[in-house]
């Protein structure tokens, strides 16, 4: 208990209010939503096979599937409309790679965001020591930004997320109209095959949205992490030094100019009018009345 209180007392919770720490907390929350909406999904579709011989019909064929969407392992039994015999059919496609990749990235993003937030709060000095912490943080942030976008660099935006493309393929493979094409009895015109229920995609659509939101968060956080590195500090040194030299250069130039004007005034014997008695000491220094305009015997005659 004392150790926990000591950590809380030494922790710098101010960083949570700054963009760096605040974005980490948002990344932590959005990562939870991403892997929860995808990894916990299970769906069902239903079809109806109405045979010409009504006794062979099955008007409620349910097909269930779930994460990680290895659809080629999902099977169902459909009537053949030839007596009581039924056929076992499998869905088409294996989309586990893109789905598992998405959930894995979300889990690791969750763990890293949580760990980084703890470091920001309780180990700020070690984080900034030798600038290694910000550099590692910057590299990991860039890597996660890229992985949230895609694990296939050749893909374009909007189709660049592997899971977004995988979800589109899952929707196609589980479309009841596509599943009906797999049933041999539905190829006979005398039999009527109809879709009854489509899967609900709200959860998986939300996971894709959170995937792109995570990309935006991690990509936007690159700048704030970059500001903590030494690279950002080095780019600020040169402009700072130049701005500090300008005022000193200006003052030196003003001082030299003023000194040059005083020397010219001193050599020319002064330009102030003789009646300005407040500046008589200046005349004495620059060669005033006693040295320029009067003979040596005039002060004696003035005294007499």
Q: Which of 44-53, 118-127, 200-209 has the lowest mean pLDDT?
A: 118-127
Q: Taking the CB of residue 139, how many other CB atoms lie within 10 A of it?
A: 12
- Can you give the length of the chain in residues? 304
Q: Which of 75-79, 101-105, 241-245 has the lowest mean pLDDT?
A: 241-245
Phi, then psi, of 212 in degrees rounded to 5: -70, -35
Provide the CA 304 distance to its chain's centre, in angstroms.
96
- Average per-residue pLDDT in the chain? 77
145-169 per-position pLDDT tens digit: 988 886 443 343 433 468 888 999 9
Higher pLDDT residue, 250 or 196? Answer: 196
Q: In the predicted model, what is the mean pLDDT of residues 37-59?
A: 93
Q: In the predicted model, what is the mean pLDDT of residues 38-58?
A: 93
Q: In the predicted model, what is the mean pLDDT of residues 201-223?
A: 93
- The band of 60, judged by pLDDT with boundaries at 50, 70 and 90, is very high
Q: Which of 124-128, 165-169, 182-186 has the lowest mean pLDDT?
A: 124-128
pTM value > 0.75: no
pLDDT given for residue 163 in this prediction:
87
18-32 per-position pLDDT tens digit: 888 899 999 999 999
Report the SS3 class of residue 43: strand
83-101 per-position pLDDT tens digit: 888 999 999 999 999 999 9
pLDDT given for residue 91 in this prediction:
95
Higher pLDDT residue, 248 or 68? Answer: 68
Give Cβ neighbours of residue 65 (< 8 Å, ≥ 6 apart): 42, 43, 44, 71, 74, 91, 174, 199
Q: Taking the CB of residue 74, how many other CB atoms lie within 10 A of it?
A: 18
Q: Is the pLDDT of residue 66 over 60?
A: yes
Q: Are strands 75-79 and 86-90 parallel, antiparallel or unpaired?
A: antiparallel
């Amino acid at each position: 208990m004392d150790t926990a209180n000591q950590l809380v007392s030494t922790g710098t919770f101010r960083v949570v209010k700054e963009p760096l720490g605040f974005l980490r907390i948002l990344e932590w929350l959005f990562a939870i939503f991403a892997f929860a909406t995808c990894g916990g999904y299970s769906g069902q579709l239903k079809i109806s096979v109405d045979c010409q011989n009504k006794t062979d019909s099955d008007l409620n064929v349910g097909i269930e599937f779930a994460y990680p969407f290895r659809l080629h392992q999902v099977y169902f039994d459909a009537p053949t409309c030839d007596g009581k015999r039924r056929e076992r059919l499998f869905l088409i496609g294996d989309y586990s790679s893109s789905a598992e990749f998405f959930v894995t990235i979300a889990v690791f993003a969750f763990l890293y965001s949580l760990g980084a937030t703890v470091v920001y709060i309780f180990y700020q000095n070690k984080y900034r020591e030798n600038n290694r912490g910000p550099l590692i943080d910057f590299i990991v942030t860039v890597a996660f930004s890229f992985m949230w976008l895609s694990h296939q660099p050749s893909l374009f935006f909007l189709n660049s997320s592997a899971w977004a493309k995988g979800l589109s393929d899952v929707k196609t493979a589980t479309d009841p109209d596509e599943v009906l094409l797999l049933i041999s009895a539905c190829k006979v015109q005398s039999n009527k095959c109809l879709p009854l229920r489509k899967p609900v995609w709200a959860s998986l659509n939300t996971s894709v949205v959170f995937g792109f939101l995570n990309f935006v968060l991690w990509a936007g956080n690159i700048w704030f992490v970059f500001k903590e590195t030494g690279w950002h500090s080095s780019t600020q040194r040169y402009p700072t030094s130049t701005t500090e030299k300008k005022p000193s250069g200006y003052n030196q130039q003003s001082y030299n100019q003023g000194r040059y004007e005083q020397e010219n005034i001193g050599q020319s014997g002064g330009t102030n009018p003789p009646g300005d008695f407040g500046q008589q000491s200046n005349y004495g220094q620059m060669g005033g009345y006693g040295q320029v305009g009067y003979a040596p015997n005039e002060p004696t005659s003035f005294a007499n």
